[in-house]
Homo-oligomer: A and B are copies of this chain.
Amino acid sequence: MTDCIFCKIVAGDIPSSKILETENTLAFLDISPVNKGHVLVIPKEHYETLTDIPDDLLSLVVKDMKKVAVAVMMATKADGYNIQMNNYASAGQVVMHAHFHIVPRFKGDGFELWPGREYECGEAESVMDDIKSEVK
């Protein structure tokens, strides 16, 4: 897409710190890292969100993401890492070209996960039934 910043990075029209490039996948440093070594992994072809990416392509992207995750851990000497994908603006997606974040994590780096709540009595069953009925 002509107005997509990640498509421009794929095309080489915008510079990036490339970590891995294959036929289908590009991995490059996030320019605004949560921790140093924070990498984005994208399908080179433009798809907006996770569910838009065809299964065969997604398999290749995720396989490459595993490789990069190992390299991030080794290079940054991280104690762990988060994989995150924000789908749609309400989930924090800013660039509308599907991308996985690999965020290296370190003991005591202070980033907190969102808190969980509790279902009321019978509520989980109702939510479960609603979701199951939508699985195609």
A interface residues with partner B (beta carbon < 8 Å): 17-20, 29-34, 36-39, 50-51, 53, 55, 58-59, 62-63, 65-72, 74-76, 78-93, 100, 103, 105-107, 109, 111, 113-119, 123-125, 127-128, 130-136
Q: Could you say how many copies of this chain the assembly holds?
A: 2
Contact of A130 with B55 in the complex, beta carbons under 8 Å: no
Contact among B29, B84, B111, B115 with A127 in the assembled complex (CB-CB below 8 Å): B29
CA distance A70 to B17 in the complex (A): 33
Q: How distant is A79 from chain B, measured CB to nearest CB, in Å? A: 4
Within 8 Å by CB of A81, from B70, B87, B119, lies B87
How many angstroms from the CA of A53 to the CA of B59 in the assembled complex?
A: 13
Bound complex: CA A70 to CA B87 (Å): 11
Contact B81 A18 (CB under 8 A): no
Report the minimal beta-carbon distance from A34 to chain B, rounded to whole angstroms: 5
